[in-house]
Amino acid sequence: MNRKELAGMLEYAADLMEVLGEGEFRAQVYRRAARNIEKLEADLQTLAAQGFRGVPGVGPALAPMLAEIVHSGEFAYMAELEAQVPPGVLEFFRVQGLGPKRIRALWEHGVGSLEELIRHGEAGRLRGIPGFGAKTEANLVQAARFALESLRRVLYGEGVEAVELLLADFANAGLRAEVAGSFRRGLETLGNLDFVALAEPEAVQHALGRYLERLEGTVWHGRLGGLPLKVFCATPQNYGSVLLRATGSAAFLEVLGALPEAPTEAEVFERLGRRPVSPYWREPEHLGLEEPAQPLRREDLLGLIHCHSTYSDGTASLRAMAEAAIAEGYRYMVISDHSQSAPYAGGLGPERVLEQWAEVERLNAELAPFRILKGIESDILPDGSLDYPDDLLAGFDVVIGSLHSGLKLPREAQTERLLKALDNPYLTVLGHPTGRLLLRRQGADADWERVLERAAERGVAVEINCNYYRCDLDWRLVLRWRDRLRFSLGTDAHSVEGLQAIAYGLVLGRKAGLGAAHVINCRPEGQH
């Protein structure tokens, strides 16, 4: 757990308090503590060891509870609050545009699930609730449909812990097992978890009994959390063919046809007279395309791009982020804190930019040959301009332009906005282009063919945001444009731990068929 995660738990607890109508003052105390904790530079373990002494907004009643959360990883009071809210009402937190006050109003008026929210909205009954107009009603119906479609899926990054848990259970039982399905193929969201075990069904039941519900042939079915779970039991003679079949995709398997039994996947491909195909290259979008012989590798990356620090809304200092990058063997890091039009994220005014530049120069002299490049994540403003005057933009080594607001502009207006941003001579990278948040928020609607064509014409790199909440630009679009554009793997790291997002960026790069020549992180510093 880091400071940002703890702050998020406090904010969520405050939201629950407001939904329950319990103590608005207490909710504000939690929110103030969350903001102050997130701004600090000390690590969370140190703060807990000090009893959170001196942290503004954390009084003697709150401090012991925060220390216990850090120690145990559990927030008992938050769980108590959640238990008082019906599960269907909790689902409203997934709907964009619904804050705690509106959620409470819906609950009070008998709307208790996403399905009911959609039905009430379609019948025009939401607008009768105070604070809900006709436009709000239409937007909420659309957002609720999106939330309902996403409800039974989880993000890839959220599946990692479950996968590791089950693999550990298999290992503790002395069983060989591998993850299969969409997780093994590296998809952004997961609707189920699939595993293949070299074991008899009875041995699998012994290892995972608490998650299993029924056995169908040699396949166990169960659930882990909200996700369906399947475990395919294999023998030494057919393990490879069972793994290949359990990994999918259905379209890829259809092309392969009947699979011969073999102990390894490599032998299955050999008996079919085909070249082996990595799990990442088995989607319908890959059919008819040849997988690159030299896919993107971690050792190809020379630098980290799109990193935040405590100058804006990061949780680690500039020095800490740089030292973490050095420890990982990188030659440079592009620091890119938020620009001044993002006050909610501690955006940097011009004086603060100059202050950061001065620290960058001092650290570069000390940490050489490692370099911190002076970057910024500049908001793309409503009219398509960037967030500083030209004389300041000219001083940055890298300018990342991103959409953070106005995501619901009509398609043509959004397209023109992006085209104007791409025409700016100081723009280096178009950051998380659509602004989507997977399973939470749809991205901007634009003519992406025109936008990406303009990026190619202007020599602007397009980001593949590695944060598993974003995965933006979508790898499917990257696959189509891989030979016409340059791309940037952006960690969007707001903490030292966030730098590890590059690992998933490499998966996305492989799914898009990228090699080192396509990615500006593989270029020496100063050649972006």
Asked whether residue 422 is assigned to any structural domain, the reply reads yes
**Per-residue pLDDT at 38:** 82
Task: Tell whether 425 is covered by a domain.
Answer: yes
pLDDT confidence bin for 97, thresholds 50/70/90: confident
Q: Are residues 35 and 181 located together in one domain of the fold? A: no
Reported confidence tier of residue 452, pLDDT bands at 50, 70, 90: very high
Domain of 206, CATH number, reads 3.30.460.10
Where does residue 256 rank: exposed (0-12), middle (13-18), buried (19+ CB within 10 A)? middle
Q: Which pLDDT belongs to residue 431?
A: 98
* In a shared domain, residues 477 and 418: yes
User: What percent of the chain is modeled with pLDDT above 90?
Assistant: 75
| 462, 505: one domain | yes
Q: Kindly report the CATH number assigned to the domain that includes residue 104.
A: 1.10.150.110
> Among residues 229, 259, 286, which one ends one of the domains?
286
User: What pLDDT, on the 0 to 100 scale, is given for residue 107?
Assistant: 93
The pTM score is 0.80
Q: 336 and 473 in one domain?
A: yes
Is residue 305 situated within a structural domain? yes
Q: Is 527 a member of any domain?
A: no
- To the nearest whole number, what is the mean pLDDT of the chain? 93
| Alpha-carbon distances, residue 47 vs 50, 282, 308 (angstroms) | 5, 46, 21
For residue 293, is it within any domain? no
Mean pLDDT of the 510-522 span: 97
> Of 74-78, 123-127, 185-189, 508-512, which range is least confident?
74-78
456 pLDDT more than 70? yes
Q: Are 342 and 282 contained in the same domain?
A: no
Which pLDDT score is estimated for 56?
87
When pLDDT is cut at 50, 70 and 90, the band that residue 23 belongs to is: low
Alpha-carbon distances, residue 502 vs 134, 231, 303, 422 (angstroms):
43, 30, 10, 25
Q: Is residue 528 part of a domain?
A: no
| Amino acid present at 241 | S
If asked whether residues 280 and 304 sit together in one domain, one would say no
Same domain, 68 and 139: yes
Q: Are residues 338 and 242 in the same domain?
A: no
HEC secondary structure over 78-122:
HHHHHHCCCHHHHHHHHCCCCCHHHHHHHHHCCCCCHHHHHHHHH
Q: What is the CATH number of the domain that holds 340?
A: 3.20.20.140
Please tell me the predicted confidence (pLDDT) of residue 42: 76
Domain identity same for 260 and 359: no
The pLDDT tens digits of the residues spanning 40-73 come to 777 788 888 888 888 888 888 888 889 888 888 7
- The most confident of 70-79, 123-132, 159-168, 196-205, by mean pLDDT: 196-205
Q: Which domain holds residue 243?
A: 154-286
User: Are 16 and 137 contained in the same domain?
Assistant: yes
Same domain, 95 and 122: yes
Q: Is residue 291 part of a domain?
A: no
Q: What is the pLDDT of residues 347-361, one digit of tens each?
A: 999 999 999 999 999
Q: What is the pLDDT of residue 68?
A: 86
Q: Are 505 and 280 in contact (CB under 8 A)?
A: no
Last residue of a domain, one of 286, 309, 327: 286
User: Do β-strands 154-155 and 189-190 pair in parallel, antiparallel, or remain unpaired?
Assistant: antiparallel
CB neighbours (10 Å) of residue 214? 8
| pLDDT tens track for 26-42 | 889 899 999 888 877 77
For residue 292, tell me if it sits in a domain: no
Domain boundary among 102, 131, 150: 150
Number of domains in the chain: 3
Q: Quick one: 31 and 114 in the same domain?
A: yes
- Catalogue the E-assigned strands of 6-77: none
